[in-house]
Amino acid sequence: MTTPTPLAVVTGPSRGIGRATALALAARRTRLALVGRASDELESVLVECTEAGSPEARLFPTDLRDLEATARAGAAVLRELGVPDVVIHNAGVVHRRSVEELDLELFREQLDVNLGAPYALTRALLPALRAAGRGRILFVGSISGTLGTPRLSAYCASKWGVIGFMKSLAEEISDSGLMTCAILPGSVPTRMLEGSGFPPRMTTEDVARTLTFFALDAPLAHNGAVVEMFGV
């Protein structure tokens, strides 16, 4: 059950899928905690969310490569806005490199932002969600989390990891009033897709609408679901 003005945490809302999702939630009068790296783009999204109908939108500037800072952002959300109804782990990064070209720094960045940050933020929020007996924890995975792709080893590993993490979390939170699921988009025309050679198969709004459904409307019986969006 969501509260009349639900609070949603969205990571990586500065552009792309995260921005579209924040705006879609704002249009449903959701309060928003926007967690992302400080930038002019992020500031603009904050204004756009208010204009789109969010009664309260706040920035929590965080570099999600830093997992301790990510946990602190979760604590700040609880302190300043209260217990969220929805958490959307959207932020992601890709570096296209063969395994030989993939140095430790780029490997770690993809694992930390794509998998470590969702872990750190979930862990920071979970006790409060459990105490409240409600909360939806959504992960933006990828079709890349179901297959292997040349020059995407770390990205694919992080997205396979997201599914394993979510599935285990789903088992841990069943019967608690909470739910979790993962949305796996195919190719979406965002900055991340640039230079990939993959043609877009859906819009950012398609993914945002799907996330909004699971954030606000879907039955909790979807706990543990993996929703593949191959596109058209």
**Residue ranges that bind ligand NAP, judged by CB under 6 A:** 12, 14-18, 36-37, 39, 41, 63-65, 90-93, 113, 140, 142, 185, 187-188, 190-193
User: Could you tell me the two tokens for 123?
Assistant: 């862990």
- Between 129 and 207, CB nearer to ligand NAP: 207
Nearest to 1 by CA among 223, 226, 220: 220
- Between 134 and 169, CB nearer to ligand NAP: 169
Look at residue 131 and give its three-state secondary structure. Answer: helix
Between CA 146 and CA 179 the distance in angstroms is 22
The CA-based angle 123-129-133, given to 5 degrees, is: 145
Q: How far is the CB of 71 from ligand NAP (least distance, A)?
A: 14
Between CA 11 and CA 228 the distance in angstroms is 20
Q: How far is the CB of 73 from ligand NAP (least distance, A)?
A: 10
Sign, CA torsion 71/75/78/83: positive
Q: How far is the CB of 184 from ligand NAP (least distance, A)?
A: 7
Helix ranges (H only) for the chain are 16-27, 40-52, 67-81, 104-111, 117-132, 153-173, 204-212
Residues identified as active-site? 155
- Between 7 and 117, CB nearer to ligand NAP: 117
- Between 2 and 228, CB nearer to ligand NAP: 228
Q: How far is the CB of 140 from ligand NAP (least distance, A)?
A: 4
